[in-house]
Amino acid sequence: MDLAEQNSGETMQWAAITGVIATVSVFAIAQGLSYPLLSFILQRQGVSPAMIGLSAAMTPVGFIVSSPLIPALARRFGAGRTALTCAALSAIMLALIGWTQNVYLWFPLRFLIGVVTNPLYVLSEIWVIALAPPARRGRVMGIYSTVISAGFAAGPLCLLAVGTEGWPPFLVGIAAFVFCGACLALVLRRLPKVDEAGHRVSVMGFMPMAWLLLSAVVVAAGFEQAVLALLPVFGAHYGIEETRMSALLSMMIAGNIAMQVPLGLLAERLTARLVRFTCVSLTLLGCVLLPVLIETPLIWPCVFIWGAVSYGIYTMSIIELGERFTGSALVAGNAAFSLMWGVGGIAVPPLAGGAMDILGADGLPITLGAICLALAIATVLRRRTA
């Protein structure tokens, strides 16, 4: 291969990476828009907070149920066709939600939107991992994580422009899913095949192969969901007003968005496993410092770093997944990651909330600190026995 062919191949590879990341960014905006939109609508209808929470939980339940099916779908229909179909079905499901406007009908529809969006997310992540040059995988996955986080954060901002009433916000979400499919169609021919015909690994078969990585995903998901749901409750115990707690959450999300690329670059210089352990340790330290600093100005840099390193646990896990696995094992691994994200998001917030009922506000940092400590200990023990 001459230099011109090599440069052309690299250009096509980076064009494909850019196309997939663009696809995921639009998908994230649509998802980030739908969660608060549906909650606002239900609130206006006088639906109880408990029922709103149950309704929102249907989407991650859909993630959990659909995750084991993704490797088989990719083999049977092809990854590209599966992802394009899911983009179209996501738009249809959001349209049905906008049309029905009924909390009881939304339960199955929100479950189904979780089922059909999950393969799109998982397969896009697999393509980015497979396309990323090994020497630059850290920065590529850092960019990917940044774009996902920024997309989810941008979703609610769209509601400021179009409002939360009538069809306009739903049309924005539907258009985003359609545009997502269009972005994917443009780069589909340049994407690597992920549904290899050789040795097949199922999601359940993958779990013993990387139980520590999957545990890290549970911790990262549970931490994020518990903090978003319960940090305002924690602040209320200290008499901190809602606007300040909202600003602290925004600072935390800003840390998440700003720091994934630097963490990815650090993983290239060191190792993803070492950086993940550092992220776990700093997240644990943040849990210890939260009650001490919550009423001081130092809480602002604390939550910025907290947001960066807590999501960095997931980013480093994804990088290590790409380093260790290929082919059907990579497909099964990404699907298992999605399943464990759903498990963490559903299990940890109620656990932390129950601890707050028993122990008071400090039950939140105690619970989150305990799961981080367990992961840190497991990492050290795994290294010693490896």
Structure confidence by residue, pLDDT tens digits, 51-82:
776 787 788 889 889 999 998 888 888 888 99
Same domain for 218 and 194, yes or no, is no
φ, ψ for residue 271 (rounded to 5)? -140, 155
Neighbours of 301 (CB within 10 A): 12
Identify the helix (H) or strand (E) that includes residue 268.
helix 242-269
Q: Tell me how long the chain is.
A: 386
| Range of the structural domain that residue 328 is part of | 201-385
Structure confidence by residue, pLDDT tens digits, 221-238:
999 888 877 888 888 888
In a domain, 315, yes or no: yes
Domain boundary among 198, 220, 240: 198
φ, ψ for residue 195 (rounded to 5)? -105, 65
Domain boundary among 198, 214, 248: 198
Q: What is the pLDDT of residue 287?
A: 95
pLDDT-based confidence at residue 5 (cuts at 50, 70, 90): very low
Q: How many CA atoms, within 13 angstroms, populate the side-chain half-sphere of residue 5?
A: 2
Contact yes or no for 207/58 (Cβ under 8 A):
no
In a domain, 7, yes or no: no
Q: Is the Cα torsion angle 114, 337, 33, 252 positive or negative in sign?
A: positive
pLDDT-based confidence at residue 385 (cuts at 50, 70, 90): very low
In a domain, 174, yes or no: yes
> In the chain, pLDDT over 90 holds for what percent of residues?
34
Q: Where are the beta strands (DSSP E) in the chain?
A: none
Q: What's the token pair of residue 80?
A: 């590209």
Q: What is the pLDDT of residue 50?
A: 65
Same domain for 19 and 155, yes or no, is yes
pLDDT-based confidence at residue 371 (cuts at 50, 70, 90): very high
pLDDT-based confidence at residue 3 (cuts at 50, 70, 90): very low
Q: What is the pLDDT of residue 4?
A: 46
Same domain for 282 and 187, yes or no, is no
Q: What is the pLDDT of residue 12?
A: 59
In a domain, 110, yes or no: yes
pLDDT-based confidence at residue 212 (cuts at 50, 70, 90): very high
Q: Which amino acid is at 133?
A: P
> In the chain, pLDDT over 70 holds for what percent of residues?
94
Structure confidence by residue, pLDDT tens digits, 270-300:
999 999 999 999 999 999 999 999 989 999 9
CATH code of residue 242: 1.20.1250.20
Same domain for 243 and 193, yes or no, is no
Same domain for 118 and 232, yes or no, is no
Same domain for 146 and 268, yes or no, is no
Q: How many CA atoms, within 13 angstroms, populate the side-chain half-sphere of residue 181?
A: 19
Tell me the C-alpha to C-alpha distance, in Å, between residue 146 and each of 26, 118, 124, 225: 13, 19, 15, 17
Residue found by looking up tokens 């299990």 in the block: 347
Structure confidence by residue, pLDDT tens digits, 156-171:
778 778 888 888 889 9
3-class secondary structure, 196: coil
Mean pLDDT of 93-99: 93
Contacts of 275 (CB under 8 A, 6+ apart): 263, 266, 267, 312, 316
Same domain for 358 and 212, yes or no, is yes
Distance, CA of 164 to CA of 247 (rounded, Å)? 22
In a domain, 4, yes or no: no
Q: Is the pLDDT of residue 152 over 50?
A: yes
C-alpha closest to that of 365 among 277, 251, 283: 283
Same domain for 80 and 180, yes or no, is yes
Same domain for 283 and 301, yes or no, is yes
Q: Is 274 exposed, middle or buried (0-12, 13-18, 19+ CB in 10 A)?
A: middle
Domain boundary among 198, 220, 249: 198
Contact yes or no for 354/253 (Cβ under 8 A):
no
Same domain for 179 and 207, yes or no, is no
Identify the helix (H) or strand (E) that includes residue 369.
helix 363-385
Q: What's the token pair of residue 232?
A: 């305002």
In a domain, 5, yes or no: no
Q: What's the token pair of residue 371?
A: 């799961």
In a domain, 54, yes or no: yes
Distance, CA of 263 to CA of 272 (rounded, Å)? 9
Distance, CA of 368 to CA of 1 (rounded, Å)? 52
Q: What is the pLDDT of residue 136?
A: 87
C-alpha closest to that of 367 among 233, 213, 207, 208: 233
Structure confidence by residue, pLDDT tens digits, 312-368:
999 999 999 988 988 888 889 999 998 998 899 888 888 888 888 889 889 999 999
Same domain for 193 and 216, yes or no, is no
C-alpha closest to that of 123 among 91, 93, 85: 85
How many domains does one find in the chain?
A: 2
Same domain for 239 and 335, yes or no, is yes
Cα-Cα-Cα-Cα torsion 316, 112, 23, 226, nearest 10 degrees, comes to -40
